[in-house]
Structure formats: C-alpha cells, structure tokens
C-alpha cells in the first residue's frame, strides 16, 4: 500500500520536473527581447484598443512610439495631451501639445429638409447603400442614417443616429476624436475638427458637390456653393470647391459672420451664445432652431 | 407616382423557405410517429408530448423575453420541435415531471445559454434526454408500461399495451450476452422479425414504428427540408459494422437489421442527426458526421456499458461539427490558375 | 433523355414568363431622348457632338475612350439640345447627350429592308472592325464590348462559340422572342462571329421552358449544321457565362480565369442579332428588345426599344404604374437593378423592365442563421456564403475572405434567395468582394 503511494508521488514529481525543465528550455530558446519601455508606455495608455491613432491597438502604438521616439506623429487621441505628457515624461522626452479634436457630422438632411424619395429595403449598412445607389433622398452625398459610424465607435454612443432627423450626431462629451467613425462613413461626411475654445466651432454642415440648383431641389439646407460665406470671411478661412464651401479650422476665429450670411443655413456654429440675428443654434438639435429660420427662404423656391 | 419606390440590392425575389416553414415541416413529419405513440401508449404519451412542447415553448419564451430582451420571443416553432423530439425519446411510463425537467434542461441549458436558435453546439433534445438518462436512470429505463387511467380503452379502443412492455430488445441482448448466453438462446425466434420493425419496437414512445418514422422522413426529403446524406451514411455504417461483426460471430454480435431497427437509431438518424444547427453544412462533412455516428453507436452497443448509444454518439459527433465545417469545403467551381 | 445543366448549386425560382406569347412591338419614339455615355462596362464614351448639332439615326455621337469601351450612335434624328450630366437609374449623375427628336431620318447606308442577307462576304478582320464600329456590347446584362471578346488574348485560342439563349432569369422573355422571331438572323450572327473567331463549332444553349424557341432553332438545323441547339434543364443561374460553359461543353472556367481558358466564347442571342444587323445591314446598335412585365401589370409586352427612352415611357406603354406596383427593376428579378429614378434612360443592354409589388419583393425580417447550409448548396460557384458573410460582417478579414475565394462570387443571388433565415447574404458579401478584388489588383504581379 505504502509502496503504491510512494511510487505514485515519485512518478508525478518526476513528470513535473521533466516538464518544468522542458518549459524552461523552451522559454529560454524562444525568448523575445522587448524594450521594457513599451510596457511602460502601454500602461499609461487608456487601453481602449480603438485604433484611433492609426495603429492596431494600444500595444502597437506603444511599440511604434518607443521605436520611432516621434511624439509628433504618434498621438493618442483618447488619452489626449494629459496621457501624452505622462508618456513623454516617462520616456524622458519633451511633450508635444496637440489641439484636441472632435468629430462633426457635415449633414443636416433630416426628412423635413431633405425629402425621402424612395424606400431602401436591404441590408442596413451605409456601405452597401452607397455602393448601390444615391440613397433614400434626392441627395447623393448626404447621411444615409444606417449607422456604419455608430458600429465603428468604440466609445459607447459617441456617435448615434438621431431618431428624429435620421442623421448621425456626435456626442461631444463622449467623442475623443479617434476618427473611427470618419473612416467608416462611406460618404466622408464625418470630419475630425479642432474642438475649439470652449468647444466652440464653426463648420459647413454639408458635403453636397452638386450644382446649386440640383442641391436645392434635393435638400433645403444643403450648401449651394454660392460663395457668400467666403466673401464675408475676414480671415480667408473659407474656400468653395466643387460647389461646396469648406471652413479651414486652423484659420477660423469663430466670428460667425458666415453663419449669418449663409442663405441656406448650412453653416453650423456649435456651443456659441445666441447672436442677435436668427441663426441655427446647434447641430445637435437642427430641428429645433432652424425651424423658424428656413420658412422665409423656402418661398422663392416654390 | 404616389408610392415611394422600394429600392434594394438584387436579388429581388425570395424563395418560400423560412425558418418557420422548415421547423413546421419537421413537426408535420413527426406526426405519424406521434400518432403511433398515442395509439399504442394512450393519452399518457399524448400528455408527455404536450407537456414537453409546452415546457419547451414556455422556457424559450421566458428566457428570450426576460433574459435576452428579444423583441420577438418565440418567433419560430423550433422549441416545439425540441419538445416533440424529447417526448418521443422518453420511455412510455415516464412521469410528467421527467418531461418538464428534460425540456427545461434542453432549452435553457443546451440552447439558450449559447444564444438561442442557431448558436447551440449540441442537439437540445438529446442533451435533455441524456441529462435525464444520467440523472434518473431508473425512470428513464423503465420500459414497463402499466395502463393508466388516461388510456383510450376507456373510450372503447386502443391496443393491448402489455404486449410491448418490458425491456428493449437491445437491453435484453446486452444483459443476456453479459450473462454468458448466446443470441440464439436469448432470441429463440430469431433476433429480428419484420413485424417488429413495422410496429412492435419496444423502447421510447417515438421508436414504436419504423414505418411511421420513415413516412415522416420521406416527407422531409420531398419538401427538401433535409438531405438524405446523414441518415443514409449512419444506417450504412451501422449495417456494415454489424454485418461484419455478426458474420464473424453471429452468436455474440447482433445483426444489421436488428441494429438498424432498434434503440432509436432511425429516430436519431432521421430527426436528431439531421438537425441543421448541430450537423455539418457541407456534404463532405455530413458524410464524415454520419460515419462517425454509425461507428460510435456500434462501439457503444457492442463494447460499451449502455445498451443503446444513439444519443451519445450524436452528441459526441456534435462536438466535431465546427471542425467539420471548417475543414470540409464544398466542391468549388473551377480549379485555381495563376492568371497574372 | 436527361437534359444537360451545370453541376454545382443553383436554385429554381418560379418561371413567371408572362410575356412569352407577346410578339415584339415597336415602342413609339420619345420626344426627348437621353443617351447615356456609360452604356457599357469600362470607360464611358466621349461625346463627339455638341449642343445644336443635328444628328441622324445611326450617326456616331460618342467615341470609345480606352480599350474596354464602345462608341455610341444616335438612335434618333433630331437636334442635340444638351450634353450634360443626368441622373441614371440609381440616381448617380452620368454624362448624357440629350436629343430633341424630330422625325426618323436614318443614315442612307443602313439597310432597313426586312430581307435576310445570308452571304457573309466580310473577312474576320472586317467583321471585328464592323462590330467595333457599330458599338456592339454584350446584351446579356454586363454590356461588355463584344469586339474584345471576339479577339482572344495572345496565347489563347477559341474553339467554339456558345450562344446564350438560356434566359434563366424569371419574367424576362426578350431573348425567347428574339429566338422565335429572328431565328435565322441569330444563326447568321453566330456564323459571322464564328468566322471572326475562326471556329467551326457553335452551340445555342436554350432552357427547356422555351420549347417554341428550341423548335424554331431546330427547324434551321439543316441550313446551319455547324450550330447545335442544346436544350438545357431549367436552373438559375444557367445564363451565367461560367455556368453555361459547364452546362454545354462540360468544361469549367478556372478560378480567376477567363471563359476563353476553356476555349469557349459566349455571346447572348441578342448580341448575335445585333452582330448580324451590324455586319450584314450596316446597322449600329441603337435598339434592343425589352420585356415590360410584372404580375401586377394589366398587360405584358416585348418592345423593340431605341436606346435612350425612359423607363417611365415604357411603363406608360403598358398602362402606367399599377397601384400595387412598389418596385421597378431594370433587368430580371435575380440580378436586375432596382430603379430609383424612373425618368432615367434605357441603355443598350437593358433587357427588361419589371414591376413587382411590395408583397412579392419586400425582404422579410432577418433571423438567426440556423446553419442549414442551404446557401452553400445553392451557390453555383461552390462557395460558402454563410462563412463569407460572417467574415465580411466582422470587417477587415480580407485575407480570410480571399482564402475563401470571395472573388469567385458571381453575385447571382442564389444564397440570399434561398436563405430561410432571410439573411441578406449577398448584400453583405458584395462590398467585401469588391474590396478583396481591389486589394488583389493593387498587388504587384509576380
């Protein structure tokens, strides 16, 4: 009886030792030398693995950063300046401040402004619709509202489809400016822009490249490329190309002259205090504010 | 034009196939087997079927609605299929609570924990049955059916039930062989008679009649719900293995016909092994799956502890299905050439 | 006798050949015509006319631009009122030549008599040149320029010509009517193309559901002994080039290969008619046969339609949009394109205008995949649509998609058609296929 027990124990111990030696040898042979700083950097990153920096996850970002030592081009949009400063300190480098960015949706084509002309009845994916045809409205540039951006967002509701307007909307508090949604949008409607001081920013909320008349027929709030905004801008921040205006956020000072000038209210000023003149207050609630404004300018069309 | 045009990518038509219609067809196909069961075992069999179906449906509904927050709980009759199959796999004397426990295990553990229809690895009805077999071995192998108050004889019809009671032929063979007897001593009239294949197969309530099972299966084939591959390979494998063994020693090993028509092999081959979710998707995989089931059934029957083995063999092969799906590709159109 | 068909996959949608007994009628000319410059696969043609030019029927109005391209002729006489972008059937802006139609004056060299010219005098080179100059494209759907198909790439040799008269799409009957009403012209067209290719064997593959067409073609068997009529079992997508070659000559086009790798050149019967008209009668491709059909329509018709009239005009010719009509499709119900803009102009390769009701076409709610494998059984290319769609849905798994040969997908729609869980398999696979094909093309060649 005792011999059996001793035998068993001895066998198991021997087996255990045998495998331990093998494991040790294998671990030695296949050891991967890694820069310990990679772990340090990774620990300082948010760990969302969102890919917003353009790398395949936080580990890849840390590897690249340590390898290149280039704080200029390696920037974690999620951690922001705070995390980057810590990383720079850990690596003993000078930190590089970057202006925080936020995604903006450059379309306001809610059903009341951009009339639905047909019904889509297929797989609910913007990519599929975009490859198939112009979309449910007369505007072939506008938001399709099927939420490819929503599924691309890894920050729980940073982007969502507004149930009333059927247009994508960004929650500026949740959005960290990683750019996943902008990459997912097959129509390039979502753009990363500087957050701006106090979150105040001005942008053209339309990407319709059709000629003014065609745009007008499709949507009452689409940019017709008239160029009035470009003329009124004191900072030469606005360019009109392919029948659509674009505001360069590096030049824009937020004077909002263009907002007041735009005949179709396609320019959006977010988070500004109200101006004396009527204007759309906020992109997040386009249905509420412009309701009063577009009424007079719809008449010349009819 | 008043109506807005509908736009979608091609194709613009859809076949009449739907999950609901396929599941409904399986239930329709099982009607002959259920009818025979009720005819022979009376209202008790009907009660078992109804209890199983209702419990399965209810379990699925509650889980889908309150745990998974599904918008459309019970969108298809698949839990009912599980319920019917489970009931048909119960012994005729099984008490009602056995059906309840089996159904809950089948749906809650084997199906819904994996995410519901289409996501389970194991056939729910079989998991239910094997759970019962292991947990309540006495109740689940009590083939003796005593007439109950619910028998049709009260209405003036119904067969003499006692003729079919007693242990299954497989169990008799197994016990006899273990006791050292030879098969010709155990079955003096021969181990297999056609009349037993038609109507008098003891065992679970669904195994009574091979003919009824076959009629249902032919219906499924005609409706193109299932393909013949899996059942055919199972039956051929069983026939081949038992043919070889019984040819070598007819006194120690039961023969092909005996093995095909006993122990729920047909019920398993026709309705359980062909379950879409838990069987391979390509013909190649289906053949391997069928052969595997056949081999395991025969190994269990000849060398294992259990007299039967269909349930276990299907469940074992269910584990292999993901691998089969991964490695058995359909025949591709055209060989690959390097055209660059 | 067992009829031939392709071996892998396929589905059997309901025939619905409602217009098969309707003879071909001429559709009245429109007042204003819109001629798209993107009539064919490949680069759009370059307009050669300007606003104010007057044109005659048959006059070149656009030149081919690039190798895979075809020239376009005016189907109308009148004045060019604009050369500008217009919305096509999907609502995308495409360059169009707009013609105000005045009268119906044809170029004098076009032979408009109904006589059949049987003598083929042109040399193979002349034939190809004539086909090219007539702007002929494949009328089976893809609109691939025909002259390119008739010049096999160096190192490849054509061995036979297969005429595609399968018309496997439900509803469409235009090819059926062509085969019945222009039987000899088709066979002549085939003979011309066989001469151009230098082959001596020809086949016409016709599905069994067109017995009259088979009989008509067979009645000329004595006159054209080199062309064999091959009746085929009805199965979709038999009209797919690869499937048809498999059905008729039992050879399979290799993966990533071309039909010519099997020695076969496939042409649609409509194309054969156009070739005959171009080579023997100098008539460029300006019209084709279009079926206007649908169960909800009061009548179904086969029209000879000049390129550039609008879909709504064809619809008017059968009584306008019916109340129940919910979806307009250019082409058949399996591979046709849904029409967003009924005012869009028809193209050379438009084969049908189909009206479906909401009930017939509306997609049903998607449910869980039950792993029945029906999509894999139905796939004529032997792919596994369930796997492809799963990989495509996850996103980014292009290497695996390539391994699973997503590029072989012919987008026939059998998987989506057959799926009991109503999973939009093809919808999901299609963009992934496009992406994988793009990645493969961008790779440096070895």
Q: State whether C15 and C144 are in the same domain.
A: yes
**Calpha distance C398→C421 (Å, rounded):** 25
B223 has pLDDT over 60: yes
Residue C207 pairs in a beta bridge with: C232
Q: Which of B100, B119, B140 is the last residue of a domain?
A: B140
pLDDT band at B197 (very low <50, low <70, confident <90, very high): low
> In chain B, where does DSSP find H-type helix?
19-41, 43-62, 78-88, 96-104, 124-135, 137-140, 169-178, 183-186, 194-198, 210-222, 229-248, 256-261, 265-267, 283-303, 310-327
In a domain, C4, yes or no: yes
For chain B, how many structural domains are there in total?
Answer: 2
Q: Which of C362, C397, C426 is the last residue of a domain?
A: C362
In a domain, C205, yes or no: yes
The pTM (predicted TM-score) of the whole model is 0.85
Q: What is the mean pLDDT of residues B262-268?
A: 86
In a domain, C345, yes or no: yes
* pLDDT (0 to 100) of residue C280: 93
Q: State whether A268 and A225 are in the same domain.
A: yes
Neighboring chain A residues of C364 at a CB cutoff of 8 Å: none
C188 has pLDDT over 60: yes
Q: State whether C317 and C392 are in the same domain.
A: no
* pLDDT (0 to 100) of residue A217: 87
Q: Which residue among C13, C325, C370 places its CB closest to the CB of B118?
A: C370
User: For chain C, what is the mean pLDDT?
Assistant: 91
In a domain, C26, yes or no: no
Residues ≥6 apart with Cβ < 8 Å to C403: none
Which of C94, C195, C75, C70 lies closest to C144, judged by CA? C70
In a domain, C402, yes or no: yes
Least confident of B171-180, B213-222, B287-296, C365-374: B171-180
Q: State whether A211 and A105 are in the same domain.
A: yes
* pLDDT (0 to 100) of residue C255: 87
Neighboring chain C residues of A125 at a CB cutoff of 8 Å: 427-428, 431
In a domain, A216, yes or no: yes
Q: State whether C378 and C358 are in the same domain.
A: no
Q: State whether C326 and C352 are in the same domain.
A: yes
Search chain B and give the residue with CA nearest C427. B9
pLDDT band at C270 (very low <50, low <70, confident <90, very high): very high
In a domain, B103, yes or no: yes
Q: State whether C150 and C184 are in the same domain.
A: yes
Q: Is the dihedral of CA B104, B105, B109, B110 positive or negative?
A: negative
Chain C residues 321-350 within an 8 A CB cutoff of chain A:
338, 340
For chain C, how many structural domains are there in total?
Answer: 2
Q: What is the DSSP string of C249-279?
A: H---PPBT--GGGGTEEEEEHHHHHHHHHHH
Q: How far apart are the first and last CA of chain B?
A: 50
- Give the DSSP letter of residue B224: T
Q: State whether A148 and A268 are in the same domain.
A: yes
Q: Which two tokens stand for residue A36?
A: 């310990």
In a domain, B160, yes or no: no
Search chain B and give the residue with CA nearest A134. B7
Residues of chain A with pLDDT under 70: 275-302
- From C46's Cα to the closest Cα of chain B, the distance in A is 29
Q: What is the DSSP string of B11-73?
A: P----S--HHHHHHHHHHHHHHHHHHHHHHHTHHHHHHHHHHHHHHHHHHHHIIIIIS--SST
* pLDDT (0 to 100) of residue A296: 39
**Calpha distance C98→C138 (Å, rounded):** 24
For chain A, how many structural domains are there in total?
Answer: 2
Domain range for residue B288?
227-327
Q: State whether A81 and A107 are in the same domain.
A: no
Q: State whether A132 and A249 are in the same domain.
A: yes
In a domain, C159, yes or no: yes
Q: State whether B135 and B31 are in the same domain.
A: yes
- From A291's Cα to the closest Cα of chain B, the distance in A is 26
CA Rg, chain A, in Å?
27
Neighboring chain A residues of B9 at a CB cutoff of 8 Å: 122-123, 128, 132
Search chain B and give the residue with CA nearest C412. B11
Domain range for residue C5?
1-19+112-362
pLDDT digits (tens, 9 = 90+) for C82-131: 999 998 998 888 999 999 999 899 999 998 888 888 888 999 999 999 99
CB-based contact C239:C210 (threshold 8 Å) = no
Search chain A and give the residue with CA nearest C358. A121
pLDDT digits (tens, 9 = 90+) for B280-326: 998 899 999 999 999 999 999 888 878 778 999 999 999 999 999 98
Q: State whether C351 and C409 are in the same domain.
A: no
Q: State whether C230 and C352 are in the same domain.
A: yes
Which of C320, C326, C361, C328 lies closest to C346, judged by CA? C328
List the single best residue of A111, A118, A136 to mutate versus B (max B Cβ within 10 A): A118
In a domain, A296, yes or no: no
Read off the CATH number of the domain in which C209 is found.
3.40.50.11540
* pLDDT (0 to 100) of residue B196: 62
**Calpha distance A139→A109 (Å, rounded):** 9
Q: Which of B102, B121, B140 is the last residue of a domain?
A: B140
In a domain, A225, yes or no: yes
Give chain C's length: 446
In a domain, C411, yes or no: yes
Domain range for residue A78?
37-91
Q: What is the mean pLDDT of residues B185-192?
A: 72
* pLDDT (0 to 100) of residue A298: 37
In a domain, B100, yes or no: yes
Read off the CATH number of the domain in which A220 is found.
3.30.70.20
Q: State whether A164 and A106 are in the same domain.
A: yes
List the single best residue of A114, A115, A120 to mutate versus B (max B Cβ within 10 A): A120
The answer to whether the bond into C237 is cis (omega within 30° of 0) is yes
pLDDT digits (tens, 9 = 90+) for C412-432: 999 999 999 999 999 999 999
Q: State whether A86 and A105 are in the same domain.
A: no
- From B323's Cα to the closest Cα of chain A, the distance in A is 29
- The interface predicted TM-score (ipTM) is 0.86
C427 and A138 within 8 Å at the Cβ level: the answer is no
In a domain, C135, yes or no: yes
Residue B310 sits at the vertex; the CA angle it makes with B307 and B311, to the nearest 5 degrees, is 105
Q: State whether C358 and C392 are in the same domain.
A: no
Q: State whether C298 and C262 are in the same domain.
A: yes
B205 has pLDDT over 70: yes
Read off the CATH number of the domain in which A56 is found.
1.10.15.40
C383 and B75 within 8 Å at the Cβ level: the answer is no
CB-based contact B32:B215 (threshold 8 Å) = yes
Burial A92-111 (b: 16+ CB within 10 A, else e): eeeeeebeebbbbbbbbbbe
Q: Which two tokens stand for residue B60?
A: 């699925």
C427 and A128 within 8 Å at the Cβ level: the answer is yes
Q: Which of B140, B167, B184 is the last residue of a domain?
A: B140
A119 and B9 within 8 Å at the Cβ level: the answer is no
* pLDDT (0 to 100) of residue A287: 43
Q: State whether A165 and A264 are in the same domain.
A: yes
* pLDDT (0 to 100) of residue B152: 47
Least confident of A66-80, B57-71, C247-261: A66-80
**Calpha distance B15→B25 (Å, rounded):** 16
Q: What is the mean pLDDT of residues C32-46?
A: 90
Q: State whether A66 and A87 are in the same domain.
A: yes
Number of neighbours of residue B63 by Cβ within 10 angstroms: 18
Q: State whether C120 and C215 are in the same domain.
A: yes
In a domain, B25, yes or no: yes
Q: State whether A275 and A132 are in the same domain.
A: yes
C11 and B13 within 8 Å at the Cβ level: the answer is no
Q: State whether C139 and C253 are in the same domain.
A: yes
* C90 interfacial to chain A (CB closer than 8 Å): yes
Chains that touch B (3 or more CB pairs under 8 A): A, C
Q: State whether C338 and C237 are in the same domain.
A: yes
* pLDDT (0 to 100) of residue A187: 93
Q: Which of C308, C340, C362 is the last residue of a domain?
A: C362
């Amino acid at each position: 009886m005792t011999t059996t027990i001793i035998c068993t124990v001895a066998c198991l111990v021997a087996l255990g030792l045998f495998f331990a030696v093998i494991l040790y040898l294998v671990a030695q042979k296949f050891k991967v030398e890694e820069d310990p700083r990679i772990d340090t950097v990774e620990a300082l990153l948010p760990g969302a693995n969102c890919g917003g920096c353009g790398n395949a996850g936080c580990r890849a970002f840390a590897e690249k950063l340590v390898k290149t030592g280039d704080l200029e081009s390696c920037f974690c949009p999620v951690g922001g300046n705070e995390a980057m400063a810590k990383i720079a300190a850990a690596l003993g480098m000078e930190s590089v401040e970057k202006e925080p960015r936020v995604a903006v949706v450059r379309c306001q084509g809610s059903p009341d402004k951009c009339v639905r002309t047909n019904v889509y009845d297929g797989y609910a994916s913007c990519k599929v619709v975009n490859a198939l045809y112009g979309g449910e409205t007369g505007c072939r540039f506008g938001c399709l509202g099927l939420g490819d951006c929503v599924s691309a967002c890894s920050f729980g509701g940073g982007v969502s489809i507004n149930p009333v307007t059927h247009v994508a909307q960004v929650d500026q508090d949740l959005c960290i400016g990683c750019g996943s949604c902008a990459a997912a949008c097959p129509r390039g409607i979502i753009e990363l822009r500087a957050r701006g001081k106090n979150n105040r920013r001005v942008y053209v909320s339309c990407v319709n490249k059709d000629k003014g008349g065609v745009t007008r027929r499709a949507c009452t709030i689409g940019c017709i490329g008239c160029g009035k905004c470009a003329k009124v801008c004191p900072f030469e921040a606005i360019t009109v190309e392919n029948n659509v205006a674009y505001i360069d956020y590096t030049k824009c000072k937020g004077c909002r002259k263009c907002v007041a000038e735009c005949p179709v209210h396609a320019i959006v000023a977010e988070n500004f205090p109200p101006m004396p003149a009527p204007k759309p207050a906020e992109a997040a609630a386009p249905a509420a504010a412009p309701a009063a404004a577009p009424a007079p300018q719809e008449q010349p069309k009819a | 034009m008043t109506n807005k045009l509908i736009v979608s990518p091609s194709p613009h038509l859809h076949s009449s196939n739907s999950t609901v219609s396929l599941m409904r067809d399986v239930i329709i196909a099982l009607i002959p087997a259920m009818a025979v069961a009720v005819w022979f075992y009376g209202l008790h069999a009907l009660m078992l079927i109804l209890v199983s179906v209702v419990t399965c449906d209810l379990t699925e509904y509650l889980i889908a609605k309150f745990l998974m927050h599904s918008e459309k709980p019970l969108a298809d009759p698949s839990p009912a299929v599980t319920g019917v199959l489970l009931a048909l796999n119960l012994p005729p004397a099984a008490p009602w609570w056995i059906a309840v426990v089996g159904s809950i295990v089948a749906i809650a553990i084997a199906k819904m924990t994996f995410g519901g229809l289409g996501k389970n690895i194991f056939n729910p009805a079989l998991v239910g049955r094997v759970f019962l077999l292991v947990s309540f071995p006495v109740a689940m192998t009590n083939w003796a059916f005593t007439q109950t108050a619910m028998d049709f004889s009260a209405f003036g019809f119904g067969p003499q039930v006692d003729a079919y009671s007693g242990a299954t032929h497989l169990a008799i063979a197994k016990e006899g062989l273990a006791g050292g007897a030879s098969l010709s001593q155990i079955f003096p009239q021969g181990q297999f008679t056609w009349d037993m294949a038609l109507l008098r197969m003891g065992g679970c309530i669904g195994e009574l009649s091979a003919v009824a099972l076959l009629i249902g299966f032919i219906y499924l084939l005609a409706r193109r719900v299932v393909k013949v591959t899996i059942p055919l390979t199972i039956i051929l494998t069983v026939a081949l293995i038992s043919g070889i063994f019984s040819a070598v020693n007819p006194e120690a090993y039961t023969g092909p016909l005996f093995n095909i028509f006993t122990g729920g092999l047909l019920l398993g081959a026709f309705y359980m092994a062909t379950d879409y979710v838990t069987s391979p998707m390509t013909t190649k995989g289906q053949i391997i799956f069928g052969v595997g089931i056949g081999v395991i059934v025969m190994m269990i029957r000849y060398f294992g502890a259990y007299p039967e083995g269909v349930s276990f063999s299907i469940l074992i092969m269910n584990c292999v299905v993901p691998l089969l799906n991964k490695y058995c590709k359909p025949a591709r159109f055209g060989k690959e050439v390097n055209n660059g | 006798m067992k009829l031939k068909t392709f071996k892998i996959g396929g589905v059997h949608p309901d025939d619905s050949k409602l217009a098969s007994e309707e003879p071909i009628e001429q559709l009245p000319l429109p007042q204003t015509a819109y001629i798209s410059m993107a009539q064919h696969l490949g680069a759009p043609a370059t307009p050669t006319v300007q606003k104010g030019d007057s044109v005659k029927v048959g006059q070149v109005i656009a030149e081919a631009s690039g190798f895979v391209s075809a020239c376009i002729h005016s189907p109308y006489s009148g004045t060019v009122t604009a050369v500008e972008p217009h919305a096509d059937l999907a609502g995308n802006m495409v360059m169009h030549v707009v013609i105000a139609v005045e009268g119906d004056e044809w170029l004098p060299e076009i032979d408009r008599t109904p006589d059949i010219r049987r003598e083929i005098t042109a040399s193979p080179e002349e034939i190809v040149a004539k086909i090219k100059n007539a702007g002929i494209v494949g009328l089976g759907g893809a609109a691939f320029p025909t002259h390119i198909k008739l010049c096999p790439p160096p190192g490849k040799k054509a061995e036979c010509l297969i005429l595609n008269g399968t018309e496997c799409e439900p509803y469409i009957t235009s090819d059926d009517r062509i085969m019945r009403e222009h039987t000899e012209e088709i066979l002549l067209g085939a003979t011309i193309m066989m001469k151009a290719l230098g082959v001596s064997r020809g086949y016409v593959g016709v599905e069994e559901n067109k017995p009259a067409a088979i009989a008509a073609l067979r009645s000329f068997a004595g006159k054209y002994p080199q062309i064999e009529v091959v009746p085929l079992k009805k199965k979709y997508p038999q009209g797919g080039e690869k499937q048809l070659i498999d059905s008729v000559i039992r050879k399979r086009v290799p993966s990533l290969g071309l039909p010519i790798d099997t020695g076969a050149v496939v042409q649609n019967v409509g194309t054969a008619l156009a070739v005959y008209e171009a080579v023997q009668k100098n008539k460029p491709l300006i019209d084709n046969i279009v079926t206007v059909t649908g169960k909800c329509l009061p009548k179904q018709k086969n029209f000879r339609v000049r390129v550039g009239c609008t879909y709504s005009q064809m619809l008017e010719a059968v009584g306008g949009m019916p109340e129940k009509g919910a979806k307009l499709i250019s082409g058949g119900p399996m591979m046709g394109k849904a029409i967003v803009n009924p005012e869009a102009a028809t193209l050379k390769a438009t084969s049908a205008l189909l009206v479906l009701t909401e009930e017939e076409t509306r997609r049903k709610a998607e449910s869980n995949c039950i792993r029945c494998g029906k999509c894999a059984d139905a796939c004529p290319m032997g792919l596994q649509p369930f796997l492809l769609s799963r990989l495509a849905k996850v996103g980014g798994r292009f290497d695996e998609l390539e391994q699973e040969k997503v590029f072989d997908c012919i987008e026939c729609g059998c998987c989506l058609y057959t799926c009991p869980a109503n999973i939009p398999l093809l919808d999901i696979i299609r963009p992934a296929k496009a992406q994988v094909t793009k990645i493969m093309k961008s790779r440096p060649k070895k």
